[in-house]
Amino acid sequence: MDKRSEEIVKRFQHSWDEVEKHYEHILQYNGWEYLTQLIGAIEYWREIGLDKVFRVGNSIHHLILSRSVEHGLREDQKRILIVPNSDGTYEINFFEGTKKYKEFKTNQLIGNQELERLLKILESVSAD
């Protein structure tokens, strides 16, 4: 792996460390228990190496996956937004800028074929 690729992987993995810390902190408070499955998915995705492929970020309890090398997204960058709901469901959105290409709702993150398909599409985008 060349130096640029090593640096990108390092940045991606650091983003996962920070997101995990954020969710662990949130779970200390009542009312956020519904995030448990999301945290399990984050751990699973790290086990299968997605922390070397995607940067993750969060906005309160929303999870964002992208191929952005830098923290923060430009408007033109593709991303997957996962919005957990207190009823145990998740809204999954695939965006490029403000254009939403795909949207669906699920109660399962790990093993969800539609989400896996979107992750493969996002993975094919060059890291930038």
pTM here? 0.92
12 lies in a domain?
yes
pLDDT tens digits for range 71-103: 877 777 899 999 999 999 999 999 987 889 899
Question: In the structure encoding, which two tokens stand for residue 50, read together?
Answer: 């997605």
pLDDT tens digits for range 15-65: 999 999 999 999 899 999 899 899 999 999 999 999 999 999 998 889 999
The order of strands in the sheet holding 55-59 is 55-59, 62-66, 78-84, 90-96, 99-106
Q: Which domain holds residue 71?
A: 3-123
128 lies in a domain?
no
60 lies in a domain?
yes
What rounded mean pLDDT belongs to the chain?
A: 92
- Taking 80 as the threshold, does the pLDDT of residue 1 lie above it? no
How many domains is the chain partitioned into structurally? 1
